[in-house]
Amino acid sequence: MASRLPSLNGLRAFEAAARHLSFTQAAAELNVTQTAISHQIRRLELELGVPLFVRRNRTLVLTPVGAEYLPAIRAAFQDLRLATERLRGRGADRVLTISTLASFAAKWLLPRLAEFQEQHPSIDVRITTSTELVDFRRDNVDAAIRYGRGRWPGVDATWLMADELFPVCSPALLTGPHPLRGAEDLAHHVLLHTSGYTDDWRLWLTAAGQAPALAARPGLTFDLSLMTVQAAIDGLGVAIGRTSYVKDDIDKGRLVVPFETVLPADAGFYLVSPAPAVRSPKLTAFADWVVGAARQSGPLRPASP
């Protein structure tokens, strides 16, 4: 009859503690308490019937038996890791996971993604949205599209496009009791805001020669830019549009640009990938496509109504 294997949790605790020679560091690595590590190792020692560590005040030392046991346990865990990576890697050459902002995905990326799929039908594209910076190893993400100045340590950032900022609204607001003919007419309309872009209206009003205090009036604020844009389409008020989020809606007549004043944004969108950039064929294909799509979309130069 085969002998019963000891606790897997105990073996994991032993391998981590032996590698660090510290219960504290092993606990941090395995995301448990130091007490849990101590209990797991004590239980393992009872199961095996031998001591594995000598505890000396603030130091931890492997016993001769523990030192002899460690290489086999370490090799076993390495075999498990490799087998798991191979299992997870099946089909990984065709699955491309891209992380980006929800509003950018909805208003710019998704309407264009069919073109990429037509050109590369063998690549299974998966889009995930987040406002947080990506940990490529932890999150199992191939690349991210992020907004900023491109200064993120430890990654490669490829420039895609800049946004211009300008008010947008439903065509219905150009007529009616208070038609939008000049920036001063904004005093009669609800201003739509997006959390995280609180300065957009103030900066634009200043550039247009209007009192920036107008931006502080009661209005409507949304968590996501795509919600703000939809509110403008629905005629709830006037929003500050960013080129990448509103260009398609303007082209299709759902939004109009009532004024000529345009602000250049101080940042832009980048394709971000792990560094050093040894890109897989699937990521190279996506990078080439998205750079080309960004160039084709180009900046929007609003015309006066």
| pLDDT tens per residue across span 194-238 | 988 878 898 899 988 888 888 888 889 998 899 999 999 999 999
- Angle (CA) 228-251-125 rounded to 5° is 70
Query: Exposed, middle or buried by CB within 10 Å (0-12, 13-18, 19+), for 26?
Result: buried
Q: 8-89: what fold? A: Arc Repressor Mutant, subunit A (1.10.10)
Q: Of 70-74, 91-95, 228-232, which range is least confident?
A: 91-95
pLDDT at 304 over 70: no
- Distance CA(172)–CA(45), nearest Å, equals 77
SS3 content of the chain, % helix, strand, coil (to 5): 45, 20, 30
- Please, which pLDDT band fits residue 302 given cuts at 50, 70 and 90? very low
pLDDT tens digits for 58-70? 788 999 898 889 8
Q: What pLDDT score was predicted for residue 152?
A: 81
Q: Does domain 163-266 sit in CATH 3.40.190.10?
A: yes
- Please, which pLDDT band fits residue 277 given cuts at 50, 70 and 90? low
CB atoms within 10 A of CB 28: 15
pLDDT at 30 over 80: yes
Mean pLDDT of 117-142: 84
- Distance CA(289)–CA(294), nearest Å, equals 9
State the architecture of 95-162+267-297 in CATH terms: 3-Layer(aba) Sandwich (3.40)
Per DSSP, the three-state class of 32 is coil
pLDDT tens digits for 130-188? 877 777 777 788 899 988 888 888 888 898 988 888 999 999 999 878 899 889 999 99
CB 37 within 8 Å of CB 23: yes
Percent of the chain with pLDDT over 90: 34
Q: In terms of Cα–Cα distance, which of 232, 253, 223 is closest to 129?
A: 223
pLDDT at 55 over 90: no
Mean pLDDT of 273-281: 73
Q: Of 263-267, 289-293, 299-303, which range is least confident?
A: 299-303
Query: Exposed, middle or buried by CB within 10 Å (0-12, 13-18, 19+), for 172?
Result: exposed
Numbered ranges of CATH 3.40.190.10 in the chain: 95-162+267-297, 163-266
Q: What pLDDT score was predicted for residue 79?
A: 75
Mean pLDDT taken over the chain: 85
Backbone phi, psi, residue 100, to 5°: -160, 180
Q: What pLDDT score was predicted for residue 305?
A: 42
Numbered ranges of CATH 1.10.10.10 in the chain: 8-89
Residue in this structure with the two tokens 């890697």, named with its chain if needed? 89
